[in-house]
Structure 1
Amino acid sequence: MEKILEVKNLNVSFHTYAGEVKAVRNVSFHLNKGETLAIVGESGCGKSVTSKAIMRLLSTPPAEIKETSSVLFEGKELLTLSEKEMRPYRGSEISMIFQDPMTSLNPTMQVGKQIAESLIIHRGMKKKEAMDEAIKMLKLVNVPNAEKRVKQYPHEFSGGMRQRAMIAIALACSPKVLIADEPTTALDVTIQAQIMDLIGDLQKKLGTAVILVTHDLGVVADVADRIQVMYAGEVIERGTINEIFYNPQHPYTVALLQSVPRLDTEHKGSLYALGGTPPDLIAPPKGCGFAARCKHCMKICRELPPTAESLTDTHEVACWLRHPYAPKVDVAEALKKVGV
């Protein structure tokens, strides 16, 4: 498949009064045309920072994208562009659905004007033409009474409707890449399912490639083609949907799967809770970032960062347990014990 986006050695730090927070460390991945890549991990692992770095939406300072980093969109390096040169890409070629639909919309502007704004800027449309297109976009994302809704303000929309409006804004210019950062946050389960179905349907209609950022593996089960798991600012495992769900190889990936409730679990009880806390990224551990929380931790895990091992052409894991000389841990058996 043809790559549309390629991220290489992305390193992002934040300079604070306490020191340099190394939020994203040596992250590399690619996105193919028309596919959905899910970036999964707990809060604070670097998912959203990675997304905003691609869009060049981080304030510098305090943020700093290191010089070794590279973000290629259709072969064009985005990180070296000036702010003026970046504008035609942001919102037009690469667009983003932000995390909180309750606060992401401008409360002082009509929803239709917020959709039309990007069409006027990026497509050169006249105001009347852009407002007509805004009505079409609201209909596309299944907002009822679009002709009336286009003149309303965000406070007149429910949470689910605001998220649909956010999707309409993001897709107004038919971007080639859509980054959905926790698109179902603060929405109830029924609305979550509707929003995910909507993104999937629109992707098929428009042929957009999607990066889906979430902490919930359950959200991506039916929509993602590939998954990459992040922890402490690093990618620790990547693979196809089947490889991650049915053959996880990193203990942290196993922990994420164990924490997802399942309807087919035979026994009842409390959900699995991973003990400990993520490492302090002002002073990242010299070995594996997950070592302090891993029950399989070995001496080498604390001393050296693990190298990425390719298990198949699509499945890769950074864990010393997967090294040819490491003690064998039956991950499948560990999953069975908790009903995964």
Structure 2
Amino acid sequence: MEKILDVQDLKVSFHTYAGEVQAVRGVSFYLNKGETLAIVGESGCGKTVTSKSIMRLLPEPMPAEIKKTTKILFNKNDILKMNEKELRKLRGADISMIFQDPMTSLNPTMTIGKQIAESLIIHRGMNKQEALDEAIKMLKLVNIPNADKRANQYPHEFSGGMRQRAMIAIALACNPKVLIADEPTTALDVTIQAQIMDLIKELQKNLGTAVILVTHDLGVVADVADRIQVMYAGVVIERGTTDEVFYNPKHPYTWALLKSVPRLETGNKDVLYALGGTPPDLIKPPIGCPFAARCEYCMEICKEIMPEATKLSETHEAKCWLQHPLAPKEGVPEGVNEGGSKNEE
């Protein structure tokens, strides 16, 4: 498969009054044409900072700083070396983003149709009427009823699910090669969540767009992603195909995420699993494994040395001392059910 995006050693810090917050610490990954990569982890793990770094949307050079060792290659061109003119051409046309909260991302003073048309005028050179006609087509494409009428309405006249669909229409208006969806289903009810994910999947199939799906909810990615990478405290601690991460997880944090997903057999009075403790302070990150303080399988070496990635297959790896060939295996989950990823069918 052809590699369209290649992120190498991404390090992002925020300079605050309290010190340097090391939000992303050496993240590397790639994205192939037409595939979906899910970046999963709890709030504050660095998912959104990673996705915004790709489009250079962080307030650089202060307070945000992308370290000089980092490379973000789109079609082999380094985005970090692009000037403002090149970035404006890239954003929207080649790489688009669906933001977490459509109500704060949409312009409240412009109609939805004009907001879609704006990018068409800038990137595709259409005149106003052509752009508005195309905007109505995009609203129909994302299943918004009465698109002709809705194009002349403002964001506050749309429901939450319809605002999210409008954001998708804006993001896809110029047929981008990469779509970054940052928590696209947050604050939506379960039925609307399913509709939004089905819509992204259908549009990706029709347009051939590569997707980076950023979410804290593993339940959302199961039917959508080709590959998953799990982030914790600014580091990727496990990556693999969707089947590998769901049915053969190897990091205790991934086990915890999977155990916290409600299942069909869960009763309405059953208590869901909750991971104890809190993430580490990234002003002074731990020298060892960042998950050590919350891990029930923690060993002394976990607190002292950050584990290297252990390759489990061609596509699967985990940064965990439990996977080291010399690590004790007694009491460590091996099966799918013990690891908490899936109960027996």
TM-score bin, normalised by smaller chain = over 0.9
Whether the 8 Å CA contact 1:265–1:339 is kept in 2: the answer is no
Contact 1:115/1:169, CA 8 A, preserved across alignment: yes
Match of 1:78 in 2: 79
DSSP-derived class of the 2:169 partner: helix
Q: What residue ranges of structure 1 are gaps of 5+ in the alignment?
A: none
Amino acid at match of 1:74: N
Contact 2:12 2:67 in 1 (8 A): yes
Distance 1:72 1:264 in 2: 44
What is the deviation of 1:82?
1.2
Would you say 1:97 and 2:101 are equivalent positions?
no
Distance 1:267 1:141 in 2: 34
Q: Secondary structure at the match of 1:261?
A: coil
Match for residue 334 of structure 1 among 318, 335, 338? 338
Structure 2 distance, partners of 1:218, 1:264, is 15
The whole-number CA distance in structure 2 between the counterparts of 1:336 and 1:221 is: 15
Aligned mates of 1:252, 1:335 — CA distance in 2: 10
The residue that corresponds to 1:128 in the other structure is: 129
Partner Cα distance (2:33, 2:328) in 1? 39
Q: Using the alignment, how far apart are the partners of 1:171 and 1:82 within structure 2?
A: 24
**Which residue does 2:296 correspond to in 1?**
295
**Distance change (3 Å), C-alpha of 1:93 and 1:336:** closer
**Unaligned residue ranges in structure 2 (runs of 5+):** none
* Secondary structure, counterpart of 1:264 in structure 2: coil
Q: Distance in 2 between matches of 1:2 and 1:135?
A: 33
Which range moved further: 128-137 or 259-268? 259-268
Cα displacement string for residues 179-212 of structure 1 (whole angstroms, at most 9, x for unaligned residues): 0000001111010000000000000000000000
Structure 1's 316 and 259: CA in aligned 2 closer, same or farther, altered over 3 A? same
Contact 1:88 1:122 in 2 (8 A): yes
Counterpart Cα distance in 1 of 2:246 and 2:133: 43
Partner of 2:270: 269
- 1:52 aligns with 52
TM-score, with length taken from structure 1: 0.98
Give the paired residue count.
Answer: 340
1:84 Cα offset (Å): 1.7
Structure-2 residue corresponding to 1:225: 226
Secondary structure at 1:95's aligned position in 2?
strand
Distance 2:341 2:130 in 1: 59
**Letter matched to residue 147 of structure 1:** D
Matches within 5 A, 1:11-50: 11-50=11-50
Q: Offset of 1:266 from its aligned partner?
A: 8.5
Give the match for residue 260 of structure 2.
Answer: 259
Task: Tell me if structure 1 keeps the 8 A contact 2:255–2:340.
Answer: no
Post-superposition shift, 1:240?
0.5
Distance (Å, rounded) in 2 between the aligned partners of 1:327 and 1:264: 33
Q: TM-score, normalised by structure 2?
A: 0.96
Deviation at 1:334, TM superposition (A): 2.5
CA distance in 2, matches of 1:202, 1:77: 28
User: 1:176 maps to what in 2?
Assistant: 177
1:18-39: CA deviation from partner (whole Å, max 9, x where unpaired): 0000000000000000000000
Change (3 A) 1:76 1:27: same
Aligned twin of 1:235: 236
Kept after mapping to 2: 8 A contact 1:13/1:65: yes
Is the partner of 1:87 in helix, strand or coil? helix
Contact 1:254-1:335 at 8 Å conserved across structures? yes
1:148–1:266 CA distance, 2 compared to 1 (3 A): closer
Counterpart residue identity of residue 51, structure 1: S
Change (3 A) 1:336 1:83: closer
The root-mean-square deviation of aligned C-alpha atoms, in Å, is: 1.4
